[in-house]
Chains A and B, each alone.
Chain A
Amino acid sequence: MAVFDGAAAKLNEYLQTAQHRSYFIAFVTLVFIFIMVVFGILPAYSAFSLQGVENQKRADAIEKLKKKRDDLQKLTLESQQKEDILAYFDFVFPKTPDQDEILNQMIQLADRSFIFLKNINFQENNQLQREFQPLALDPAVQSLSLSILAEGSQQTLNSFIGELENQRKIYNIKNFIITRKSSQDIQRTTPDKYYDLNLQLNIYYFAE
């Protein structure tokens, strides 16, 4: 108590002058403001701002979920409206290679180009992943190789190659050779069969 009285007396003595009084009041006010800021304003602001951050995260999550929902709704609607296109896509990039269907299409293309098919041979394509390096295809992509022997004229054989290239089903021509028949063979045949075509191509399917 004596210590306190002594301190109070010293403080009273210090506050005798107006200048000291104003210094003291400024100091005490600043300390008080500091205490209010630290124990009052900052905790309130911190709780408010933290909640704001959390709410922003929730708002972002809602935005993403809404976008995903809208995309899926749009895709659902689009897939219903474009069922025929999806069916066609399944045809051009099927789950399994339908050899009958491929043969039928080759015959159709040959008829349309006025060439004469002599032989069609199917083989497993083991070079698929190497074929598209450095691009990595999905493991579900599979491939078959076709060897086609045909005869025709320069124009009709070229037309057949053009027909193959214009199909939406991918016929990836790997190599071909067009050779003119020997003089003896030419004498025995008609001008629309003067040339032989030996063509290798790959077809692709997506084994889901």
Chain B
Amino acid sequence: MARRTFNLLKPLAPPKSVWDKVYDWILGKARVVILITEILIALAFFAKVVQDTDAKNKEDEIARLTAELRFYADTLEPKFRLIERKDQNYVNIWNLTPKYSEVLAEIYSYIPNAASEINVRIEGARVTIFGTEDLSTLQVLEAALKSSGTFSAAVIENLSLQQQEILEQKGDYILTAIIKDLYREQL
């Protein structure tokens, strides 16, 4: 009868070769890295599919809008651009156009005597008032222009008195001033 033997010791595996270790490593730690990488690549792939679809939809939308705008570009857009140009130039001219009626009314308000020989010349911002006038009236006019907020640099440029005029307290004068705010209300 043959003798039976039982080996109750834990069997000892042979020492692992390099390849065994690499195999273990690939099934162990590397598997996690590969899995994460694959998940990321899959996500990127799906995102790319979504983006490609989105890109195609956007291209279609651009083509549709371009066709729609072509209709306007040939017919209405030039008309609107012309109106815009006209409007801009109109506003520019309007804003650089002076307003004199209020200035003139103010000057006349300083001359109470309707029979006064007063002449007014306005060129740009320069006001010239000239004529023959009673000296006291002239003084009042000069003081009024100097104290007015509408004018600056109000001066009597010339005052000439003839003998007869001295007796009558009258003289020929030229009075000038500069209008401070020349332009009308801006658009």
Listed in ascending order, the chain A residues whose CB lies under 8 Å from chain B are 8, 11-12, 15, 25, 28-29, 32-33, 36-37, 40-41, 44-45, 47-48, 51-52, 54-55, 58-59, 61-62, 65-66, 68-69, 72, 75-76, 79, 86, 89, 92-93, 132, 135, 137-138, 140-141, 154-155, 158-159, 161-162, 165, 170, 172-180, 204, 206, 208
Provide a sorted-by-A list of 13 A–B residue pairs whose CB atoms are within 8 angstroms.
A41-B37, A44-B40, A47-B44, A48-B51, A55-B55, A93-B86, A93-B90, A137-B93, A138-B89, A172-B98, A176-B100, A176-B122, A206-B90
Question: Which residues of B from 50 to 93 have beta carbons under 8 Å from A?
Answer: 51-52, 54-55, 58-59, 61-62, 65-66, 68-69, 72, 76-77, 79-80, 82-83, 85-90, 92-93
- Residue numbers in B under 8 Å from A178 (CB-CB): 104, 119-121
Indicate whether A137 sits within 8 Å of B29 (C-beta atoms), given known contacts A65-B62, A176-B122. no
Q: Which 6 A/B pairs are nearest by Cβ-Cβ distance? A: A44-B44, A162-B101, A175-B123, A58-B58, A65-B65, A177-B121
Residue from A36, A41, A48, A86 in contact with B48 in the complex, judged by beta carbons closer than 8 Å: A48
Determine if A165 and B184 form an interchain contact, defined as CB atoms under 8 angstroms apart. Answer: yes
Indicate whether A62 sits within 8 Å of B29 (C-beta atoms), given known contacts A40-B41, A75-B80. no
- Residue numbers in B under 8 Å from A173 (CB-CB): 97-98, 100
Q: How many angstroms between the C-alpha atoms of A51 and B56 in the bound complex?
A: 11
Determine if A29 and B30 form an interchain contact, defined as CB atoms under 8 angstroms apart. Answer: yes
- Residue numbers in A under 8 Å from B68 (CB-CB): 69
Indicate whether A51 sits within 8 Å of B55 (C-beta atoms), given known contacts A65-B62, A170-B93, A170-B97. yes
Indicate whether A41 sits within 8 Å of B108 (C-beta atoms), given known contacts A32-B30, A140-B85, A208-B82. no
- Residue numbers in B under 8 Å from A86 (CB-CB): 83
Determine if A206 and B89 form an interchain contact, defined as CB atoms under 8 angstroms apart. Answer: yes
Determine if A180 and B55 form an interchain contact, defined as CB atoms under 8 angstroms apart. Answer: no
User: Does B25 sit within 8 A of A, measured CB to CB?
Assistant: yes
Indicate whether A36 sits within 8 Å of B34 (C-beta atoms), given known contacts A75-B80, A172-B97, A204-B93. yes
Indicate whether A58 sits within 8 Å of B47 (C-beta atoms), given known contacts A15-B21, A177-B121. no
- Residue numbers in A under 8 Å from B69 (CB-CB): 65, 68-69, 72
Q: How many angstroms between the C-alpha atoms of A40 and B38 in the bound complex?
A: 8
Determine if A29 and B61 form an interchain contact, defined as CB atoms under 8 angstroms apart. Answer: no
User: Does B118 sit within 8 A of A, measured CB to CB?
Assistant: yes
Determine if B62 and A55 form an interchain contact, defined as CB atoms under 8 angstroms apart. Answer: no
> Which chain A residue lies CB-closest to B104?
A158
- Residue numbers in A under 8 Å from B180 (CB-CB): none
User: Does B166 sit within 8 A of A, measured CB to CB?
Assistant: no
Residue from A36, A54, A66 in contact with B65 in the complex, judged by beta carbons closer than 8 Å: A66
Residue from B37, B62, B89, B98 in contact with A141 in the complex, judged by beta carbons closer than 8 Å: B89
Q: How many angstroms between the C-alpha atoms of A165 and B96 in the bound complex?
A: 12
Indicate whether A180 sits within 8 Å of B131 (C-beta atoms), given known contacts A36-B34, A170-B97. yes
Determine if B89 and A161 form an interchain contact, defined as CB atoms under 8 angstroms apart. Answer: no
Determine if B122 and A25 form an interchain contact, defined as CB atoms under 8 angstroms apart. Answer: no
- Residue numbers in A under 8 Å from B87 (CB-CB): 89
Indicate whether A47 sits within 8 Å of B89 (C-beta atoms), given known contacts A41-B37, A59-B58. no
- Residue numbers in B under 8 Å from A208 (CB-CB): 82
Determine if B101 and A33 form an interchain contact, defined as CB atoms under 8 angstroms apart. Answer: no
Indicate whether A138 sits within 8 Å of B65 (C-beta atoms), given known contacts A44-B41, A48-B47, A54-B55. no
Q: How many angstroms between the C-alpha atoms of A137 and B123 in the bound complex?
A: 22
- Residue numbers in B under 8 Å from A76 (CB-CB): 72, 76
User: Does B114 sit within 8 A of A, measured CB to CB?
Assistant: yes
User: Does B23 sit within 8 A of A, measured CB to CB?
Assistant: no
